[in-house]
Amino acid sequence: MQVSFARNARDAVPLHAVTAAALARWLATRPKREARFLKGAGFTAKEGEVQLIAGADGSLSVAVLGLGKGDDKLALAAFPASLPAGTYRLGDVPEMQAGSAAALAWALGSYEFARYRKPKAKAMRLVLPDGADGAEISRVAQGLFLARDLINTPPNDMGPQELADAAIALAKSHGAKVSVIVGEALLKSNYPLIHAVGRGSARAPRLIDFTWGNESAPKVTLVGKGVCFDTGGYDLKPSSGMLSMKKDMGGAATVLGVASMAMSAKLNLRLRVLIPAVENSVSGTAYRPSDVFKSRKGLTVEIGNTDAEGRLVLADALAEADSEA
């Protein structure tokens, strides 16, 4: 999804934000009608509390957000879900939540994962706050949205192959060099732990590897765990423990989001991304407790619990990352 900011503040509805501690003093500075309405509505400025105030013609004239203690820099992310379609601008907002923080919070609060349902038809824009760089905010937001989309995608549509496809698409869009080692080729390339964890699934394990940037620039390598679904293996998780396991590839998603931000900003670095992508399943070919494998580094590893697969796949990927250190 795209982040959209307005440039013209004309007819934009003001957004105010206030902490619980400052509420009484702040109300004393507001128009009497507005202050009476907020008091009558029982507004206490608790964190995330939003109060909409209509004008004389019945249309929205002001929106107020409670900040609670006021220690959340991105608290204004609570606004978009509570507002109708329209154009908004910052009103009276504490310095901590203003400027670039407000713009990023607005973008994050506007995020919607609508791949499997009809998106909400709400056209909302925020007038870009003073001091905020719209292009930078968009770059950061797009990276975060990419990570969120990958994590939110259900495991039937986000296996090792689909995660690799997402990484390849990102890499190619920025001219990065990408390679993917799949299945038995992992053994030939000496990634035995990645192969061991993923071999029990019909969805072949793989190592995703891409590089971007000038070879002479400072090197940065990002390694992200890409366990696309984790049953626990033979040390099977209870059903309640599997409900959130589509998120076990969150490390990989985060790495791709950060890579997106870095490449979009054209940072002066030589970036490398390594993602071991596997599914930890139960089958006749799955690895077992008490199995012993030799890692890429050359150390032998005895399996005590097949639900500790993350450290195994990361060990091989980190050993490769360390080879360039």
Q: For 47-70, write each residue's pLDDT tens digit.
A: 999 999 999 899 999 999 999 999
45 plus 156 within the same structural domain? no
Classify the C-alpha dihedral 133-138-143-148 as positive or negative: positive
Q: What is the pTM of this model?
A: 0.94
pLDDT at 190: 99
pLDDT at 283: 98
pLDDT in tens, 176-233: 999 999 999 999 999 999 999 999 999 999 999 999 999 999 999 999 999 999 999 9
Residue 313 clears pLDDT 70, i.e. is over it? yes
pLDDT at 119: 85
Q: SS3 for 228-288, per residue?
A: EEECCCCCCCCHHHHCCHHHHHHHHHHHHHHHHHHHHCCCCCEEEEEEEEEEECCCCCCCC
DSSP 8-state secondary structure symbol assigned to residue 305: -
The answer to the question of residue 187 being in a domain is: yes
Query: What is the CATH classification number for the domain harbouring 104?
Result: 3.40.220.10
Residue 246 in tokens? 């589509």
295 plus 153 within the same structural domain? yes
CB 245 within 8 A of CB 230: yes
DSSP 8-state secondary structure symbol assigned to residue 117: S
179 plus 86 within the same structural domain? no
Q: Tell me the average pLDDT of the chain.
A: 96
Q: Which amino acid is at 216?
A: S
Angle, in degrees to the nearest 10, between helices 134-152 and 160-173: 160
18 plus 95 within the same structural domain? yes
* Spatial separation of the C-alpha atoms in residues 312 and 299, rounded to whole Å: 12
CB 100 within 8 A of CB 137: yes
Q: Which of 81, 106, 132 is the last residue of a domain?
A: 132
| Three-state secondary-structure class, residue 121 | coil
163 plus 303 within the same structural domain? yes
Q: Is 36 among the residues known to form the active site?
A: no
Residue 171 clears pLDDT 70, i.e. is over it? yes
Q: What is the mean pLDDT of residues 165-174?
A: 98
The answer to the question of residue 137 being in a domain is: no
* Spatial separation of the C-alpha atoms in residues 268 and 36, rounded to whole Å: 54
Number of domains in the chain: 2
Q: Which of 104, 132, 160 is the last residue of a domain?
A: 132
pLDDT in tens, 111-161: 999 999 988 767 889 999 999 999 999 999 999 999 999 999 999 999 999
Residues pairing with 18 in the sheet: 66
pLDDT at 120: 79
* Spatial separation of the C-alpha atoms in residues 194 and 224, rounded to whole Å: 13
Q: Which of 110, 132, 154 is the last residue of a domain?
A: 132
217 plus 297 within the same structural domain? yes
The answer to the question of residue 311 being in a domain is: yes
* Spatial separation of the C-alpha atoms in residues 7 and 168, rounded to whole Å: 35
* Spatial separation of the C-alpha atoms in residues 173 and 264, rounded to whole Å: 10
Query: What is the CATH classification number for the domain harbouring 315?
Result: 3.40.630.10
Residue 139 in tokens? 């770059």
DSSP 8-state secondary structure symbol assigned to residue 129: P
The answer to the question of residue 138 being in a domain is: no
The answer to the question of residue 123 being in a domain is: yes
The answer to the question of residue 238 being in a domain is: yes
Residue 311 clears pLDDT 70, i.e. is over it? yes
The answer to the question of residue 166 being in a domain is: yes
Least confidently predicted of 41-45, 103-107, 115-119, 270-274: 115-119
Q: Is 311 among the residues known to form the active site?
A: yes
Domain that holds residue 89: 5-132
pLDDT at 1: 64
* Spatial separation of the C-alpha atoms in residues 221 and 232, rounded to whole Å: 28
Residue listed under structure tokens 């006749």:
284
193 plus 305 within the same structural domain? yes
162 plus 259 within the same structural domain? yes
pLDDT at 9: 83
pLDDT at 6: 87
The answer to the question of residue 314 being in a domain is: yes
Q: Identify the active-site residue in 237, 247, 270, 297.
A: 237
Q: Identify the active-site residue in 39, 172, 266, 311.
A: 311
44 plus 68 within the same structural domain? yes
47 plus 166 within the same structural domain? no
Q: How many CB atoms lie within 10 A of CB 242?
A: 16
127 plus 166 within the same structural domain? no
185 plus 242 within the same structural domain? yes
CA angle 94, 97, 98 (to 5 degrees): 80
CB 74 within 8 A of CB 101: yes
Residue 3 clears pLDDT 80, i.e. is over it? no
Q: Which amino acid is at 16?
A: H
| Three-state secondary-structure class, residue 319 | helix
Residue listed under structure tokens 């292009």:
135
E strand spans, 10-56: 13-18, 50-54
Residues pairing with 219 in the sheet: 270
